[in-house]
Amino acid sequence: MPKVCGITSWEDAVMAIESGAGALGFNFYPPSPRSIPADADLGWIRDLGMAFPDIARVAVVVNPDEPLLRKLREADCFEAIQFHGDESPEFCTKEGAAFNYWIKALRVRSEEDLAVSVEFSTPFLLLDAAVPGSYGGSGKTLDWSLAAKFVTGYPGKKVLLAGGLTPNNVSAAVAQVHPHAVDVASGVESAPGQKDPEKVRAFIISALS
């Protein structure tokens, strides 16, 4: 299943859905060029759920504070929350309980980075490239052999593969790793925070082929 992350507008959301995306990610991490302001009106995201009830809407956060978490809970427009920072297993379990499910992102350099996955109670793990000073969206590719070994070794985990995926490499990534889903942000943009319709369509076709 393709997940298109860093959606910032209704138009990009509908374009991604009509191109075949099964999930959309909405970023609430201010340093990111794809971030939605914490005080923004989220009504359009709620409306997406009414127009496209089969599409999963995922709130992406990095070390979130309570005011942001409260806003996301009260908005009642996200099926899931994705913890993309340094959140503890206990924090994720507690705060993730307010949503239908939650995802923990792991920044992977080695097998040791993957070993901590067993501490998180969710089956949904997003594997991203480890880049110093970055919490994702770097465009860097992780070691697919590590991801493939993890998928084989932990069949109970549903892996979302991220990190440097593009229309040109996603088919090879899927063939090697066999993830539950693939996640893309910068790899389908014309500019930071602006999705390119041709790239989105090409990515999803390649991911599903």
Residues acting as catalytic residues: 5, 128
- Please state, in angstroms and rounded to a whole number, the distance separating the CA atoms of residues 204 and 209: 8
- Please state, in angstroms and rounded to a whole number, the distance separating the CA atoms of residues 30 and 63: 11
Q: Are 59 and 69 in contact (CB under 8 A)?
A: no
Q: Are 8 and 34 in contact (CB under 8 A)?
A: yes
Which residues are within 8 A (CB) of 111 and not within 5 positions of it... i.e. 6 or more apart?
146, 149
Q: Decide: helix, strand or coil at residue 49.
A: helix
Going residue by residue through the chain (209 aa), what tens digit of pLDDT does each one get?
Answer: 899 999 999 999 999 999 999 999 999 999 999 999 988 999 999 999 999 999 999 999 999 999 999 999 999 999 999 999 999 999 999 999 999 999 999 988 888 888 888 899 999 999 998 765 555 555 678 899 999 999 999 999 999 999 999 999 999 999 999 999 999 999 999 988 899 999 999 999 999 98
- Please state, in angstroms and rounded to a whole number, the distance separating the CA atoms of residues 102 and 65: 17
